[in-house]
Amino acid sequence: MRLTYPTSIKIVRVPCTGKVDIIHMLRAFEKGADGVCVIGCMEGDCHFKSGNFRARKRVEQVQKILTTVGIGGDRVKMYNLSSGEGPTFARYANEIHEIIMELGPNPIKLKKKQAA
Amino acid sequence: MIVADKKPVEEIIEYVQGCKKILVLGCNECVTVCEAGGKKEVGVLASALRMYFLNQGEDVKIDEVTLERQCDHEYLEEIRDVADEYDAIVSLACGVGVQFMAEKYHSVPIYPGVNTCFLGATEQRGLWTERCQACGNCMLAITGGICPVSRCAKRILNGPCGGSSNGKCEIDSNLDCAWQLIIDRLKALGRLEDYEKICSIKDWSTDRAGGPRKVVREDVQI
Amino acid sequence: MSVKTPSKLEKILSEGHLAVTSEVGPPRGSDPEEVIEKANLIKDHVDVINVTDNQTSVTRMSSLAACIHIKQMGLEPMLQMVTRDKNRIALQSDILGAASFDIFNLLCLSGDHQSFGDNPKGQNVHDLDSMQLVQTVRMMRDEGKFLGGADIKRPPKLFVGAAANPFADPFEIRVPRLAKKIACGAEYIQTQCIYNLDKFEEWMKLACDRGLHEQTYILAGVTPLKSAGMAKFMKNRVPGMDVPDDVIKRMADTPKEKQAEEGINICIETIERLKSVEGVKGFHIMAIEWEEKVPGIVERAGLYPRPEID
Ligand code: SF4
Ligand code: SF4
């Protein structure tokens, strides 16, 4: 099965979404990412019990911080799916892509360019 | 340990408006354990501040350093050579660290990056609770090892009050009544008869009430 | 027990009469008329009028000032004092102030936590607790000394009491706690409102078994229920209040317009039953913002007329 998802998305593999920390997401934005999407296992199915719940809480924290600093909390989002769900993955990927296209580029990327 | 909580980023942004060079300074002790002011939190705050200023179109340099402790001269000396270069230092140490910094480095404004909350313990990850108010005259020996000063909402030394119900405090049904805990513990120790001893009026002069306190130990002074 | 103060309450109790006290809550303003009006409603039917001290931590006219108004009407006030708002300097000072107006009754309380009231952001003091306040008053009266050790010129003559809540937890220490209050010097006790009579009787029996009823005068607290809603509120929202389900049911099964009357009936039945309980030496009727009902309750409960004391 060959599924297409937007080429703009760069995948970073982690053993568990519980490994994704606030600082990782913030760094991505600092470096110019327009959005970050964390995709974890279905709630209740985490191999490490609560990794995906933690990830969700951290995503919420990042949303708050991004809103505060003027980048916009909507640029980060968490989804859950199970391993065999390729089509759903593609759907989520398209969805976040559309959200980001609507929001436009990360404002600090532009500012960095202006400064350079 | 001293338990602190993060301050809202908005508040910190307010403090450092207009600064061109900012140091975010963490502490490796209590505030690291309670995940409010360690290296990790320094990274998050610094990143947030960088993005904020970039987005405002302001060129602000933000550095990150985490010291072993901010309540000891030796460790604070580590930033001696660089401290003056900053327009502001945001200290994520407890209120003690922030003040000790400020006493040492006169020319740089030091802002608190956390709210210092209490002396407490880690009940579980992400949950810290108060255990002591440093009254300076510990009475745990007579209360079965549970502190009515810090854990009874009314500091009642001869409790419980009439509001204790189902083991919980009158102010919050999720909060244990300290006196229920004391009684349970005395019972477990086979010392319930001690409950009837009247706790006499406390000397609060060793508490905050007596003014800023000092411990002098000539035996260990150099 | 020999009489130690000029308190009318002490005299009535020592002569073996069932005492009746009630209370007046000072107003949220400075108009003395409100105190005077409330006191007038109950003055002929009670021996002593308790004046609450910023009850439920809501700011009101000071208890001492309201006591003075009542005293100036020729009535007998009881100053309630909570340890929440004042340190030992202020407490001792108010005790002298009260004594200077010949206020003869003092009830020592810790007070509700300030989070219940209109200043949840305020500090609390709790320099002393209620038992230590009892000790303080007794020292001032009996030894004529301040806590600091100095002599008091014209020591206060106050009949000192404390509160007891037989319904708070843990039950097993409720009687030992009463014993502690007595050991501190509480000469009378006013209890929390009683709705669970079985539990109260159990508490009273344990107290009598230890002979505590002979060391202090216990006044049983009652509060007439105005409605089924109030009964439920008391049960669910007031910490340390025990309103049994059958009381709530009885109120709820009564048609709305008759509930107030039913509440008063329950109150009178409670007094009737408690009269025969060993150790009960009187009643404290707390008719919250319902003072006009007190005379009827006192009369119907067979507690009227009040004994004449000179
Ligand atoms: S009694 Fe005083 S020193 Fe001891 S735990 Fe309590 S507050 Fe701390
Ligand atoms: S319920 Fe217990 S902890 Fe709360 S104020 Fe009363 S005695 Fe203290």
Its ipTM equals: 0.94
For each of the domains in chain B, give its residue range(s) and CATH number, in order of start. Answer: 2-118 (3.40.50.2300), 134-210 (no CATH)
What is the average pLDDT value for chain B, to the nearest integer? 96
pLDDT digits (tens, 9 = 90+) for B18-40: 999 999 999 999 999 999 999 99
How many Cβ atoms sit within 10 Å of the Cβ of residue B213? 11
Count of all residues that appear for chain B in the document = 222
Confidence of residue A3 (pLDDT cuts 50, 70, 90): confident
Report whether B198 contacts C131 (CB < 8 A): yes
Least confident span in A2-16, C150-164, C218-232: A2-16
Pocket of ligand 1 contains residue B142 by CB under 6 Å: no
Please indicate, yes or no, if residue C1 is contained in any of the structural domains.
no
Please indicate, yes or no, if residue C293 is contained in any of the structural domains.
yes
Instruction: Over range B67-77, report the average pLDDT.
Output: 96
Residue C204: domain span: 8-300
Please indicate, yes or no, if residue C152 is contained in any of the structural domains.
yes
pLDDT for C42 equals: 97
User: pTM value?
Assistant: 0.92
Contacts of A68 in chain B (CB under 8 A): 8-10, 13, 48, 52
pLDDT for B96 equals: 98
What is the average pLDDT value for chain C, to the nearest integer? 97
Contact check, Cβ <8 Å, A26/B9: no
Token readout for C64 is 């001492």
pLDDT for A113 equals: 83
pLDDT for A1 equals: 57
pLDDT for C156 equals: 98
Instruction: Over range C196-203, report the average pLDDT.
Output: 98
Please indicate, yes or no, if residue C148 is contained in any of the structural domains.
yes
- pLDDT surpasses 60 at C220: yes
Closest CA to A79 of A20, A48, A37, A44: A37
Confidence of residue A2 (pLDDT cuts 50, 70, 90): low
Please indicate, yes or no, if residue C2 is contained in any of the structural domains.
no
CA A99/CA A29 separation, integer angstroms: 16
Chain-centroid distance, C-alpha B198? 32
Please indicate, yes or no, if residue C224 is contained in any of the structural domains.
yes
- pLDDT surpasses 60 at C111: yes
Q: Which residue of B has its CA nearest to A29?
A: B51
B174 touching C, CB under 8 A? no
C184 touching B, CB under 8 A? yes
Instruction: Over range C243-252, report the average pLDDT.
Output: 97
Contacts of B49 in chain A (CB under 8 A): 69
Least confident span in A1-5, C136-140, C201-205, C303-307: A1-5
Report whether B76 contacts B38 (CB < 8 A): no
Please indicate, yes or no, if residue C305 is contained in any of the structural domains.
no
C176 touching B, CB under 8 A? yes
Please indicate, yes or no, if residue C306 is contained in any of the structural domains.
no
Q: Tell me the CATH number at C176.
A: 3.20.20.220
Of B8, B9, B47, the CB nearest to A27: B47
- Structural domain count of chain C: 1
pLDDT digits (tens, 9 = 90+) for A32-53: 999 999 999 999 888 888 999 9
Contacts of C236 in chain B (CB under 8 A): none
Confidence of residue C239 (pLDDT cuts 50, 70, 90): confident
SS3 A68: helix
- pLDDT surpasses 80 at C1: no
Confidence of residue A116 (pLDDT cuts 50, 70, 90): confident
pLDDT digits (tens, 9 = 90+) for B155-194: 999 999 999 999 999 999 999 999 999 999 999 999 999 9
Confidence of residue B11 (pLDDT cuts 50, 70, 90): very high
Q: Going by CA atoms, what residue is nearest to atom 3 of ligand 1?
A: B138
pLDDT for A109 equals: 87
- pLDDT surpasses 80 at C52: yes
Pocket of ligand 2 contains residue B178 by CB under 6 Å: yes
% of chain B with per-residue pLDDT over 90: 99
Position A58, amino acid: R
Closest CA to C110 of C132, C136, C95: C132
Instruction: Over range C68-94, report the average pLDDT.
Output: 98
Of B153, B198, B201, the CB nearest to C180: B198
CA atoms within 13 A on the CB side of A73: 10
Q: How far is A95 from chain B (nearest CA, A)?
A: 25
